[in-house]
Amino acid sequence: MSQSLVHSTVLLNEAVDALQIKPDGIYVDGTFGRGGHSRLILEKLGAQGRLIALDKDPMAIAEARGISDARFQIVHCGFERLSEVLVELGIDKVDGVLLDLGVSSPQLDDAQRGFSFRFDAPLDMRMDTSRGETAAQWLATVDEGLLAEVISNYGEERFARKIARALVTSRQGSPILTTRHLSEIVAQNVHSHEPGKNPATRTFQAIRIYINRELEELESVLPQCMGSLTIGGRMAVISFHSLEDRIVKRFMRDMAQGDKLPRNLPIRAADIPQAKLRLVGKAVHPSVQELKINPRARSAVLRVAEYTGGQHHGR
């Protein structure tokens, strides 16, 4: 692997420690990437332990195939298939699930993947290059209203309408096939300057999130993580922007909330349904030391929760 396509694992010890690895436990790394978290989990597992890793990206799968360890299995699929995969593997419950969301550095730094405005490359942006529509294909036909909505909602971009109008007008002349073409049109239509931030940052993030269905898949996997845990098992989720973190935070908070019964009900504490999750500590951010080595970790937030075995459904 070229040095520039290495991934610096974010919150490595914090996330793996949070799982409280039991030597003979079964764990899931739902986002293998380049395997930083997976390798540390394997180090902590004993001979009877097991680690199932998933990733959508064929390049991540190729890397994982290089790990020759009988305790380790890699599956090429989206983590929204977690429950199905566990059934297929004959696994009923697991002791912990880790999700390190978003894109890896190799995805961002490989010009050909088309994720970044730093290079001129075909506008692809798919994490799973074996299926689905590329960003260029989507931009060729998307309705202007939907495009504006995506850029506004997923990019939190003030100039979403203007950018969407400009993209639709421009594609009538020539299709938007490259990262450079896209970033130039966006830059011409963003009239604010955020220091240190390329004007195309928000639009690229928005299109990437949409193309890869990132938020839908996150919404779908969280209950599956919880449902697959043994009592005392933990889920640890690292997110990289506020849209993801909001989903994780709300899910964990809602599932950790006991019944809000009216006071003075003649009911014993033991009869009150217990919440399904217990929050473990507060949100964890990378240390100053980690940020010095890896500035890309700056927006990372780790949240951890433990399955209690309770039956309360949350709100």
Ligand X SMILES: C[S@@+](CC[C@H](N)C(=O)[O-])C[C@H]1O[C@@H](n2cnc3c(N)ncnc32)[C@H](O)[C@@H]1O
Interface residues with ligand X (CB under 6 A)? 7, 9, 31, 33-37, 54-57, 60, 78-80, 100, 102, 104, 127, 217
Q: What residues are paired with 100 via a beta bridge?
A: 238
CA distance 106 to 5: 4
Q: How far is the CB of 195 from ligand X (least distance, A)?
A: 26
Round to whole Å and give the CA distance between 25 and 156: 41
Closest CA to 239 of 286, 200, 203, 194: 286
Residue nearest to ligand X (CB): 33
Choice between 36 and 310, CB closer to ligand X? 36
Residue 20: count other Cβ atoms within 10 Å of its Cβ. 17
Tokens of 207: 């299109």
Residue 91 is encoded by which pair of tokens? 């696994």
Residue 35 CB, shortest distance to ligand X, in Å, is 5
Nearer to ligand X, 22 or 34 (CB): 34
How far apart, in whole angstroms, are the C-alpha atoms of residue 122 and residue 198? 19
Closest distance to ligand X from the beta carbon of 106 (Å): 8
Q: Which is nearer to ligand X, 154 or 159 (CB)?
A: 154
Distances (CA, A) of 13 to 18, 41, 59: 8, 10, 24
Task: Name the residue type at position 218.
Answer: L
Q: Which is nearer to ligand X, 215 or 272 (CB)?
A: 215
Bridge partners (DSSP) of residue 237 are 99, 303
Q: Which is nearer to ligand X, 33 or 314 (CB)?
A: 33
35/310 with CB nearer ligand X: 35
For residue 268, the number of C-alpha atoms closer than 13 Å in the C-beta half-sphere is 2
Cβ at position 80, least distance to ligand X in Å: 6
Rounded to a whole number of angstroms, the minimum distance from the CB of residue 141 to ligand X is 24
- Smallest distance, ligand X to C-beta of residue 174, A: 31
Which of 235, 110, 247, 238 lies closest to 179 in space, CA to CA?
110
Report the C-alpha gap between 28 and 146 in whole angstroms.
35
Cβ distance to ligand X smaller for residue 53 or 150 = 53
Min dist CB 15 to ligand X, Å, is: 8
